[in-house]
Amino acid sequence: MAILENIRKRTTVLILIIGLALFAFVISGVFTSNDLGGGKIGSSVAEINGNEISIDDFRRKVESASNRFGPSASSMQVVNQVWDQEVRNSILSQQFEDLGIDIERDQIMNYIKTIPSYSQNPQFLNDSGVFDENKFRDFIADLKVNSPSQYNLWLQDEQSIIQNAKQQTYFNLIKAGVGATLKEGELDYKLANDKVDIKYVRLPYTLIADSTLNITKSEIQSYIKNHEDDFKQEESRDIQYVYFEEKASADDEMAVKEATTKLLG
């Protein structure tokens, strides 16, 4: 009974251990298997726009994301999120290269200041409660010397920050290229502000009895002819067919004639 009581007290711990074991099993199965549907996957997990995604690099990113999310996200959720990010980064990176978009060190720091987990962390604030760049740099330098594993995680975060900063620059360029002319602005202002008072009388056509109207076929044809564009419709089907006529061929007729002759003979 004492053993059962101890197990009951440690139910949460046991569930956590089992969950971590299952997570490790799933992840190892995804990344250590060399056979997927009977085909070798080699050293890359996928290819996006001609760029191969290294399986080792993908595994590291999944592990890093798993550490950030903790038990709040399932292994498949983490893998899917990392995959979506890889697709996005691969496509946008080609755009960055074509446009020559790059991020300088001071721009990285400016972007870090917009991230609450850094800019509002008491560890990096000065006496006035303002983010202190020197404290942040000293913290990263200390990680590099005393905690290489944590420093490697920071390097991965830094790459994500650089990528996000490039995306922000890219989308700002797109926004800057999408504008409106002065005339469009004037029209928008008029539509929003010009007001008129009108009075009208509605006369439903249902009030007019059909028996009072006498419309001839010639009037209908004339109306259709004068408004042909109103009745035109684009082709909605493209049908091809072969017609086989249900008619005996000359050979069939000859065969029937010969068979009949034999029967009569």
pLDDT tens, 55-76? Answer: 888 888 888 788 777 777 788 8
- What is the mean predicted confidence (pLDDT) over 184-209? 88
Domain identity same for 148 and 73: no
Residue 261 included in any domain:
no
Residue 187 included in any domain:
no
Residue 168 included in any domain:
yes
> Residue 4's pLDDT is what?
44
Tell me which residue of 80, 93, 83, 81 sits closest to 51, measured CA to CA: 93
Domain identity same for 116 and 171: yes
More confident residue, 2 or 119: 119
Residue 41 pLDDT class (50, 70, 90 cuts): very low
Q: Of 133, 160, 178, which residue constitutes the final position of a domain?
A: 178
Structural domain of residue 72, as residue ranges?
1-86
Q: How far apart are CA 144 and CA 242, in angstroms?
A: 77
pTM over 0.85: no
Query: How far is the CA of 201 from the CAs of 151, 197, 206, 207, 208, in angstroms?
Result: 77, 14, 15, 14, 15
- What is the mean predicted confidence (pLDDT) over 170-197? 86
Residue 7 included in any domain:
yes
Residue 58 included in any domain:
yes
Domain identity same for 63 and 124: no
- H/E stretch holding 151: helix 148-177
Task: Give the count of domains, the chain.
Answer: 2
Q: What is the pLDDT of residues 202-256, one digit of tens each?
A: 888 888 888 888 889 999 999 999 999 898 888 888 888 888 888 888 888 898 8
Residue 62 included in any domain:
yes
Residue 141 included in any domain:
yes
Q: Of 86, 117, 151, which residue constitutes the final position of a domain?
A: 86
Q: Of 178, 203, 238, which residue constitutes the final position of a domain?
A: 178
Domain identity same for 36 and 1: yes
Domain identity same for 7 and 74: yes
> Residue 40's pLDDT is what?
45
Domain identity same for 71 and 145: no
Domain identity same for 108 and 81: no
Domain identity same for 77 and 114: no
- What is the mean predicted confidence (pLDDT) over 24-48? 56
Domain identity same for 120 and 59: no
Residue 76 included in any domain:
yes
Domain identity same for 2 and 79: yes
Domain identity same for 60 and 140: no
Domain identity same for 81 and 114: no
Query: How far is the CA of 40 from the CAs of 26, 35, 36, 37, 48, in angstroms?
Result: 19, 5, 6, 9, 18
Q: Count other C-beta atoms under 10 Å from residue 89's C-beta.
A: 20
Q: How far apart are CA 158 and CA 264, in angstroms?
A: 101
Q: What is the pLDDT of residues 111-129, one digit of tens each?
A: 888 888 888 899 999 988 8
